[in-house]
Structure 1
């Protein structure tokens, strides 16, 4: 690897990560960031290999390319990738909240379904039907928990089985 290959490396990274030059955005911004991190690790390995084998030429070329990465990678690749990630996160958080009437309808539907499956469990259904009803009841319970905790729905995904 020679330092003059830096432009080719950045262009290749942009191509692989789906860079759009018109909007300065990436189709896969996290890939661009991961490629940069991986390339920097590879350069450290090359520097180490040059030191171990007393190959000053390899060590010098790897160090020079590493300095180019330090100086230019942020401007050429990672700043646009981070901006694309930030914009995607902002856009995903701009979702509209459901109307209270919609929440009420959903809650009533879940309550009705829970009663239906509860009756199946208490009735004289087959083992297979009871197993399916139990499975549906657990899904309904999870839905009700998410609906109840709708301002912090991400917390439900972190609940332990005991808390659930």
Structure 2
């Protein structure tokens, strides 16, 4: 508007730099923060009899797979154990499979271990 050629060139260079670097620095960090906030979201939905029954069933499968592995190590027993444990993590977190399977060790170690849902506190783990 003021016919400032130097200012106009600086603005154009800044816009080019912003377009090139946005996805590397700003967008990736913002997406990562959003995902971590979803994992730490407080959930006040109480446990139901169906979820407790499912958890008990998964524990039964886990115990059987462990007993089978102690007697004879087989791929099917190991697969049963790993699937049972993954399902228990998903049920415990009340989240989709994708979040549980893609969680990083750093995120797991830095998770908030503060306030515990009272229903979870009374659940036998």
- TM-score when normalising by structure 2: 0.39
Higher relative contact order (CA 8 A, sep 6+): 2
Structure with larger Rg: 1
